[in-house]
Structure formats: structure tokens, C-alpha cells
Amino acid sequence: MAVADRRTTTAAVASARPGPSAPVALGLGLAVLATLVWSGSFVTSRALGDSVPPVQHAFWRWVVALAVVAPFGARRAWRQRALVRRHLGFVLLASLLGVTVYNTLVNQAGVTTPAANMGMIMAASPVLMALWERAAGVRLGPRRVAGLLIACVGVLLLVSGDASFSAGDLWMIAAACCFGSYSALLRRRPAELGGAAFLFTTFLLGTLMLLPAHAASVAVQGGFTPTPGTVLPLLYVGVASSAVAFFAWNRAISLIGPTRAGIVYYLQPVCVALLSWALLAEPTGWAQAGCMALILGGVVLGAGARS
């Protein structure tokens, strides 16, 4: 009787514990949110390519993001300044990859590359995330690898169907490498460094590193004219694509890891293609739709895989 009671008690305690499905579902939802918001930022980069110089676009994006994050993160970052100094090398590298370089490269690509191409090329970054995670000793599992490969095939078919290739595509390849490395680097974020403090610190350092390039851009290219057509997109990328999306993505990485979040990121070329078709009148055909279906299938298969 006592053994049976102990078993019943143990089972009740186990059933009362929160299972792994809740944080995984939250992580997947946050990764989807970040991916959807960032898809819009590619369209914005393309739309502003002729009116706002790329470096100035990136600089003012992060100035807006800093203003949004400061009320939540500035005080926390100050309280954790000793921890930030202790891990300064990590924080500087994350700021350089995720803030200073990545979005500047995306904006530079938007000058000559269609938004749909930008989304397709950026979909290569999950492969780099998986390679970095595997190099760190994380076992990916057959179902996750299968989903990764299926989605990757869909992206490759999508890219191969577009014969045009420009210098902007090379900028996007470099951007994809930066973002994949940044996402893998997040796994090493000190657990004690809070999300809001980390965001504020990286946004601040990344913006400061952009300041000399911004000054040079203004001196050589001149400033841009603030109009609703330039200010509103900058507010979108500063508030939604920077403050909201980066917080959601960083939190998703901490919950589900870069590989599974990277599989969700494969949704981006689908979202970008649909948005660019709707907002910029860039063409989307049946072949692209078939590739998008393949990408979606890979995402569903790989993102739902158990650790």
C-alpha cells in the first residue's frame, strides 16, 4: 500500500510539473514573430534604397531602437555594468555582428537587390546556425536535420529560379553570415545578464560603432530629407524590427536554441516574397509558390522535432 501511495504521489508531482511543451511553444511563437517583423524590414530596406543612404538608415534605426529600449533596459544595464565589463569581449562581438554590421549590409543590398531576393539569400543563415551549434557539440536529431534540409532545398530551388544576380546579392550573403553567427553566439550569453540589459547594451555599443561611418556618409553623400516616406519606415525598423524583433529572437534562442529557431527563420523568404508582391509589385509565380510550400513543410517538420 505504501509503495502504491508513493507511486501515486510521484506521478501526481510529475504531472503537476510544467512540461517542456510550454517553453518550446513560446520559443517557436517568438521566433515566428521576429521572422514576420524582419520580413517587413527587408521590404523597408528596398523601399528606402533610393532615398536614405544605407549607413544613415542603419544609424537612425538604432537611435530609434535605443530610445524605445532605454526605459526598460538602461537602468538594468547600469546595475549590471560590472557583469558587462567582465564579458565585454562577448558583448562587443554581439554588438558588432548583430547591430553595426548586419543591418548595414542589408540596407546596402537593398539599393540594388529586390526584396524577395534578399529574403531568399537570408534563408541561408539557418544552415550556418546549425553548423555552429553542431560544432559546439549539440546533437540535432534526424527529424530536425530532415526539416532543415527540406527547407534548404526549397530555398535553393527558389533562388535558382531567379537568373538575375547583382552586387547586392553579395552584400546579402555577407549579411546572412553575420546574422547566423550572431544567433549562434547568443547561446554563450551569460545567464545573469538580463534580456533588456543585453539589448540596451548591444544597441548602444553598436550605434556608437556606427557613428564614424554615419558621419562619413553625411559628409560624402549628404543627409536625407525627413518626410513621411522616410520617417515612418525608420520608425518601423527602429521600433518593430529592432526593439521588438530582437528581444523576441534573443528570447527564442534561449528557449529553443539557434537551430530550431533557424528552421522557423526559413519562413522569411515566403513572407518577404508575399510582402514584396503586395507592397512593391515584385512578381511571384507558381514555381515560387511551390518552393514556398516546400519551405513551409520543412519548417513544420523540423521546428516541431523533440530535442
**Residue 223 included in any domain:** yes
The CA distances from residue 126 to 32, 46, 113, 156, 162, in Å, are 14, 22, 21, 13, 21
**Residue 200 included in any domain:** yes
212: domain range? 35-139+164-255
**Residue 107 included in any domain:** yes
Read off the DSSP letter of residue 189: S
Which tens digits make up the pLDDT trace of 240-257? 888 888 888 888 888 888
- Give me the mean pLDDT over the 267-292 stretch: 66
Which tens digits make up the pLDDT trace of 171-227? 888 888 888 888 888 878 887 888 888 989 999 999 999 999 999 999 998 888 888
**Residue 95 included in any domain:** yes
Query: In a 10 Å sphere around its CB, with 0-12 CB exposed, 13-18 middle and 19+ buried, how is residue 209 labelled?
Result: middle
Nearest to 103 by CA among 68, 64, 143, 144: 64
Which tens digits make up the pLDDT trace of 39-84? 777 778 777 877 888 899 999 999 999 999 999 889 999 999 999 9
pTM to 2 decimal places:
0.72
**How many domains, the chain?**
1
The gap between the terminal CA atoms of the chain, to the nearest Å, is 37
**Residue 54 included in any domain:** yes
**Residue 307 included in any domain:** no
**Residue 169 included in any domain:** yes
**Residue 280 included in any domain:** no
